[in-house]
Amino acid sequence: MTADSFAANLLKWYNQHGRHDLPWHHNRTAYRVWVSEIMLQQTQVATVIPYYQAFMARFPDVQSLAEAPTDDVLSHWSGLGYYARARNLQKAARSVIENFGGNFPDTQEELESLTGIGRSTAAAILAQAYNKRAAILDGNVKRVLARYHAVPGWPGQTAVQNQLWEHAEAHTPNKRVRDYTQGIMDLGAMVCTRTRPACNDCPLQKGCAAYARAETSLYPGSKPKKAKPEKTTWMVILEDKDGRVLLERRPPSGIWGGLWSLPELDPAYGADELQDACERDLGFNCTEPELISGFRHTFSHYHLHIQPARLGVNGQNTVKDDSRHKWLHRHEALALGLPAPIRTLLTSPEQAALL
């Protein structure tokens, strides 16, 4: 199958089976496409749609996003994970206002100058928003091309990725590039899936090297496995006499960066030491702890075993509201940007262990 027939067959399939009515297909501005692309990184379309709609209702343009309180942005991202994406989104929005007069750039180089936008995301914005010829290479596209050309190795390796970029550039047509880029993403998501690809429904089956060899399961190559470290922490729900809980803002970088979370205590403490630990480490005289079922939360590079405990605070709070601490009623806390496990702990602690 030639490069031309690859694109032609894909477009013919897209006409009949592709997704034509996604929320970011309407009023297709660079801003709206950009937000969708960032949300779709490492997140499936079905999950993204309600978040995207709520985000657009609150931040309808780049100006409103740039000027919004960061807590507001993070609260609208809460549950999507990979929170650095939200922080980078706002940094980029502010850069568009400051450096581009509020107008989204329309060149690869200028788009890549914005925080959080790499080569493929920039190309997707060019193709989807401006209908300019630009090759994309997201996870779905990597899978399609790796199978079609039987490219061995894990796509995270530079040499493998470079081969896939060459194929992506060669197959991208000069016309209907907007439909082509959506089509190849759809094909990877709907037909050329990670497991059990529907090869009999694939418009590219005839030229697919992996299919011809009955080796679709071998492509793309898997990431070399590495055991994730295991970490443990106490998370304490400190509640004052008015029913408010203490939240603590995470550092701006790292896990859950910039989000509000619960105070943590050294996992070396035993349950019978928590009262003393709260007084010594946090400055509170507390009631005996009520232990809540622990659970494990997995991050991209380690597993965190969370053991929650609820303690009442006696007397006057020694920690006052500041930039890092807030005493809030639960309904107030839930309006902030919270990691999903923390949100569950504050609303339904018994469900947290099921996460």
Active site residues: 37
Number of residues in the chain: 355
CA angle 349, 235, 277 (to 5 degrees): 130
Name the residue type at position 253: S
* Secondary structure class of 229 (helix, strand, coil): coil
Tokens 């679709």 belong to residue: 216
Q: Are 62 and 97 in contact (CB under 8 A)?
A: yes
* Alpha-carbon span 207 to 148, nearest angstrom: 7
Give Cα separations from 18 to 21, 146, 183, 186 (angstroms): 9, 21, 6, 6
Q: Nearest-CA neighbor of 242 among 334, 323, 330, 310?
A: 330
CA angle 120, 123, 125 (to 5 degrees): 115
Q: Are 317 and 238 in contact (CB under 8 A)?
A: no
Provide the CA 174 distance to its chain's centre, in angstroms.
31
DSSP conformation class of 114: S
* Alpha-carbon span 248 to 215, nearest angstrom: 50
